[in-house]
Amino acid sequence: MKTNFLWGGATASYQCEGAWNLDGKVESMWDRYLHENNLENGDVASDHYHHYEEDIRMMKEGGQTAYRFSLSWPRIIKNKEGDINPEGIKFYQNVLDACHKNGIEPFVTLYHWDLPQYWEDEGGWLNLEVAYAFEHYAKVCFEHFGDKVYYWSTFNEPKWFVANGYFIGNYPPGFKDVQKTMIAAYNVMYASALGVRAFHEKGYKGEIGIVHSYTPVNGVDDSIETRIAMRYADNYSNNWVLDTAVLGEFPIDLIAKLSEDYDIRFIKEEHLKIIKENTVDFIGLNYYARTLVKPYTSGETQLVFNHSGKPGQSKVVIKGWFEQVRDPNSEFTAWDTEIYPKGLQDGLIEAWDRYHLPIYVTENGIGVRENIEVDQVNDDYRISFMNDHLSAIMNAIDYGADIRGYFAWASFDIYSWKNGVEKRYGLVAVNFQQNQARKPKASYYWFKEVIESNGEKVERKIFD
**Residue numbers annotated as active site:** 157, 363
Please name which of 286, 347, 272, 338 lies closest in space to residue 311, comparing C-alpha atoms: 338
**Please, what is the Cα angle at 280 between 176 and 359, to 5 degrees?**
95
In the complex, minimum distance from the CB of residue 38 to ligand BGP, in angstroms, rounded to a whole number: 19
Q: What minimum distance in Å lies between the beta carbon of 12 and ligand BGP?
A: 5
Contact indicator for 9, 411 with CB cutoff of 8 Å: yes
We find the least distance from the C-beta atom of residue 217 to ligand BGP, in angstroms, to be 17
Q: Is 286 in the site for ligand BGP (CB under 6 A)?
A: yes
| Contact set for ligand BGP, span 139-158 (CB under 6 A) | 156-157
Tell me the closest approach of the beta carbon of residue 314 to ligand BGP, in angstroms.
12
The one segment of 81-89, 163-171, 267-275, 412-420 that binds ligand BGP by CB under 6 A: 412-420
Contact 60, 47 (CB under 8 A): no
Contacting ligand BGP (CB under 6 A), which of 187, 235, 419, 436? Answer: 419
Q: Residue from 243, 363, 370, 388 that binds ligand BGP (CB under 6 A)? A: 363
What is the gyration radius of the CA atoms in the chain, in angstroms? 21
Task: Find the binder of ligand BGP among 291, 416, 436, 443 (CB under 6 A).
Answer: 416
Instruction: By CB under 6 A, name the one of 1, 5, 9, 12 that touches ligand BGP.
Output: 12
Task: Give the total of residues touching ligand BGP (CB under 6 A).
Answer: 14
**Residue 295 or 367 having the CB closest to ligand BGP:** 367
Question: Under the criterion CB under 6 A, does residue 367 sit at the interface with ligand BGP?
Answer: yes
- Toward ligand BGP, which CB reaches closer, 37 or 223? 37
Between 287 and 447, CB nearer to ligand BGP? 287
Buried b or exposed e, range 273-290, using 16+ CB within 10 angstroms: ebbeebbbbbbbbbbbbb
Q: Convert residues 179-208 into a mask of x (bound to ligand BGP by CB under 6 A) and - (unbound).
A: ------------------------------
Q: Where are the beta strands (DSSP E) in 236-305?
A: 282-287, 291-295, 302-304
Task: Please name which of 231, 195, 227 lies closest in space to residue 211, comparing C-alpha atoms.
Answer: 195
Closest distance to ligand BGP from the beta carbon of 331 (Å):
17
Q: Which is nearer to ligand BGP, 52 or 296 (CB)?
A: 52
Give the angle subtended at the CA of 114 by the CAs of 111 and 120, to the nearest 5°: 110
Q: Are 316 and 294 in contact (CB under 8 A)?
A: no
Residue nearest to ligand BGP (CB): 416
Counting contacts by CB under 6 A, is residue 55 touching ligand BGP?
Answer: no
Query: How many C-beta atoms lie closer than 10 Å to residue 3's C-beta?
Result: 5
Closer CB to ligand BGP, 12 or 115, in the complex: 12
Q: Do strands 282-287 and 359-363 pair parallel, antiparallel, or not at all (unpaired)?
A: parallel
Amino acid at 66: A
The interface region with ligand BGP, picked from 243-251, 259-267, 395-403, 409-417 by CB under 6 A, is 409-417
What's the CA angle centered on 111, arms 110 and 113, to 5 degrees? Answer: 160
Compute the distance between CA of residue 307 and CA of residue 310 in angstroms, rounded to an integer: 8
Which string of x and - marks every residue 160-179 that binds ligand BGP (by CB under 6 A)?
x-------------------
Detail the DSSP E strand segments found in 288-373: 291-295, 302-304, 315-318, 322-324, 331-332, 338-339, 359-363
Residues forming a β-bridge with 9:
67, 408
Q: Alpha-carbon distance 101 to 59, whole Å?
A: 12
> C-beta of 80: minimal distance to ligand BGP in Å?
26
Contact residues: ligand BGP, CB under 6 A: 12, 15, 156-157, 160, 213, 286, 363, 367, 409, 416-417, 419, 423
